[in-house]
Chains A and B, each alone.
Chain A
Amino acid sequence: MAESERPRPEGADVVPIGTSGRPGRGTGKKRPSAAARNLAPSPRKPTRPTPVKAARPAPVPLDEPAEAAEQPAATRPSTTTEERHPLAGIPVGDWLHAFQHAAVELFGEQWERRLAELMAFLRRRLSGDYTVDEYGFDAELTERFFMAALRPIADKWFRVEVRGADNIPATGGALVVSNHSGTVPVDGLMTMVAVHDTTGRFLRPLGADLVFKLPVVSSLARKGGATLACSEDAERMLSGGELVGVWPEGFKGIGKPFGERYKLQRFGRGGFVSAALRTGVPIVPLSVVGAEEIYPMVGNLPNLARLLGMPYIPITPTFPLLGPLGMVPLPSKWLLEFGEPIRTDEYDAVEAEDPMLVFDVTDQVRETIQQTLYTLLRDRESVFR
């Protein structure tokens, strides 16, 4: 306060001789005497050094002492405090250098090529010059945007560990069947990232009706490669040689209370098995451990859910309580284990109509996933590690 009222020295070149701008008599010591220190104004306000900092990359005036620039907090700047535009006076070369540095930081060594690629990508997006497949899947957008956005979450937040990735066929149609949990279908997204990063293939999820009814979600789901979980689409994708992901528990699985974690729910009518039998593709069971703990669902608002047409409205220890902060998932440690593929090509397509066979295979898949879940849970040190 007192300092701001002090008359400021005029001009940049008023430098007191001998003291290097420090209070005291200029004894040549680093530290001024106690008396001199008392003369000095009360401790500097934290806002004060900012203009100095902002102007730091600017070329230091020749007559300014070097130490003053190095320890601005301990010394009083003897130079001018005249307001300057923070961007004024930065040479173009410095700008270029900073830009180059930032580009290298962002894109690595081959930043020029990467940046050109990015610009081309943006241009293609803006002119609509890309292709989608018949399900509305936009491979470029998925790879460059969705995967890139989800990968840090998978790697850093959930620390997804994939086991048995070589059980996923490298080519041809296959059906990945997984348990479903976590209140919000994050497990599906993480599985997509894990599959893409370990095998380079895109997992094409089959989504519930609700996914395609909701605005925004529906268009994102189609662009990300999902399609409706119906036998027509499942068979079409599988016979087209796609790697299809299905979560047969559906809303019963993700919307189950925390107390029932890792207990597999009913596997529907086994429609996914019929689809696999008819197309003769292998079924790869996938067990996901960790997704149950991201949003521990301790309660439900069934009446409100019915009103909004949702399957459930979750209450978690944090969700309505902390507002949007409650939507941050807990950082549980995830384990994904792909099991041995179950072959279906030895059956006839006609046998897909045999309900007994369909139930048998469904139970086999379900048991495999449940047993693997128990094994993984024993392997896991704790929920968060």
Chain B
Amino acid sequence: MGRVVLVTGISRDIGRRFARSAASDPSIDRVIGVDVVPPRGDIGDVSFVRADIRTPVIAKVLAKEDVDTVVHMSVIATPGSAGGRNTMKELNVMGTMQLLAACQKSPGVERVVVKSTTTVYGASSRDPAMFTEEMGPKRLPSSGYAKDVYEVEGYVRGFARRRPDVAVTMIRAANVIGPHVSSPITSYFRLPVVPRVLGFDPRLQFLHEDDLLDVLRHAVVAGAPGTFNVAGDGMLLLSQAVRRLGKPSVALPGVAVGRLGSTLRQARVADFSPEQLGFLTYGRGVDTTRMRTELGFEPRFSTASAFADFGASLGAPRRVPPEPPPARVASGGARG
């Protein structure tokens, strides 16, 4: 008897694609997608249930469908797609609370997988070079996506304490990038001229979209409890990334980049989120040792190759595949 997986946030592209890839996994019996609006694309074998995770209806869905694994993917990053910051916060925080409350009451739930993000670590000048899973942000996020994620993670940890019999896996994914991803970071790189913060060259880490789907499926099947940073190996500097795209960039003072970002957001040109300014100033690196040792997952794309794949979709010149990173980087990932 295979698993019955419930996926939230299926109306968004990444949720839908995960649901489809999970449905094709032999060890997964059935996949139920939940969202308030129907998914736009083809969902294949996935059965769609129209339900709002912000209401107690979700508990009934869990009970009726005999769900044993819940994959929570509906924490959204930008208010643009949800229709305003209030709706976004409502969806993210209230949705998570209701979903976890439903899971707590449902005896059949054995595994909960939450797709979180490395944005939860924040980005500041006082950050360590590489964040491990035990570390928290240097400054608590005061607003926006980062705050939502921080609160969501808090609720998830509370749930894990209250239901120790449930294996709770939290995947802190680095910035997801790929030809089909539309996110603040991809819309940033899709701008014709990339604005940079003057005098700063942040370190970036990417996770390829296929690897995100793989790691979530791996978490569903393997069920290793804990919190895991997931990112491609290696680092790219922003200046380097822009050069690899072959795009022009312009360096502006930080304030001007923030102003430009909010203008672009209002004009709906790019989904530029405020916490992205910090990220584009100071950058962030996460340690992925635990991803390998405990979760047992190996991403197929490195940061550089994931970015090259994204760049190819933008029509950047395909160059020779980048040489493997020096031993120093490789040992950084494998260190115990």
Query: Residues of A at under 8 Å CB distance from B?
Result: 126-136, 138-139, 209, 212-219, 222-223, 227-228, 230, 232-233, 236, 239-242
Contacts and interface: CB of A to CB of B under 8 A. Distances in A.
B135 interface: yes
A133 B235 contact: yes
B335 interface: yes
Given A218-B125, A236-B129, A132 B203 contact: yes
A219 B129 contact: no
B125 A134 contact: no
A212 B282 contact: yes
A128 B241 contact: yes
Given A136-B235, A218-B125, A236 B322 contact: no
A337 B28 CA distance: 65
Contacts of B243: 126-128
B240 interface: yes
A131 B242 CA distance: 14
A218 B198 CA distance: 11
Given A212-B282, A218-B199, A232-B135, A129 B319 contact: yes
A131 B304 CA distance: 9
A212 B281 CA distance: 10
B260 interface: no
Given A218-B125, A233-B128, 11 more contacts: A128-B243, A131-B322, A132-B203, A134-B130, A134-B235, A134-B332, A228-B129, A232-B129, A232-B132, A239-B335, A240-B332
Interface stretch (B210-218, B271-279, B323-331): B323-331
A127 B304 CA distance: 13
B292 interface: no
Nearest to B329: A133
8 contacts: A128-B244, A129-B319, A131-B323, A132-B236, A134-B235, A215-B197, A232-B129, A233-B130
Given A128-B241, A219-B200, A213 B129 contact: no
Contacts of B127: 228
Contacts of A133: 235, 325-326, 328-329, 332
How big is chain B's contact interface, by range? 35 or more
B86 interface: no
A79 B246 CA distance: 56
B325 A209 contact: no
B289 to A, nearest CB: 10
A128 B242 contact: yes
Contact of B319 (A127, A130, A132, A232): A127
Contacts of A239: 335
Nearest to A127: B243
For A130, A132, A240, the residue with the greatest tally of chain B CB atoms inside 10 Å of its CB is A132
Contact of A213 (B125, B239, B326, B335): B125
B319 A131 contact: no
Contacts of A232: 128-130, 132, 135
Contacts of B328: 133, 240, 242
Contact of B198 (A215, A217, A227): A215
B141 interface: no
Contacts of B201: 136, 219, 222-223
Nearest to B205: A134
Nearest to A125: B243
Interface in B272-319: 282-283, 285, 304, 319
B133 to A, nearest CB: 12
B335 A240 contact: yes
Given A131-B329, A215-B200, A227 B129 contact: yes
Contacts of B326: 131, 133, 139
B101 to A, nearest CB: 36
A237 B246 CA distance: 33
Closest 6 CB pairs of A and B: A215-B199, A128-B243, A219-B201, A232-B128, A128-B244, A216-B199
A75 B242 CA distance: 61
B129 A135 contact: yes
A217 B282 CA distance: 12
B162 interface: no
B126 A209 contact: yes
A134 B235 CA distance: 6
B242 A218 contact: no
Interface string B150-192: 0000000000000000000000000000000000000000000
Given A127-B319, A139-B326, A213-B125, A218 B237 contact: no
B15 interface: no
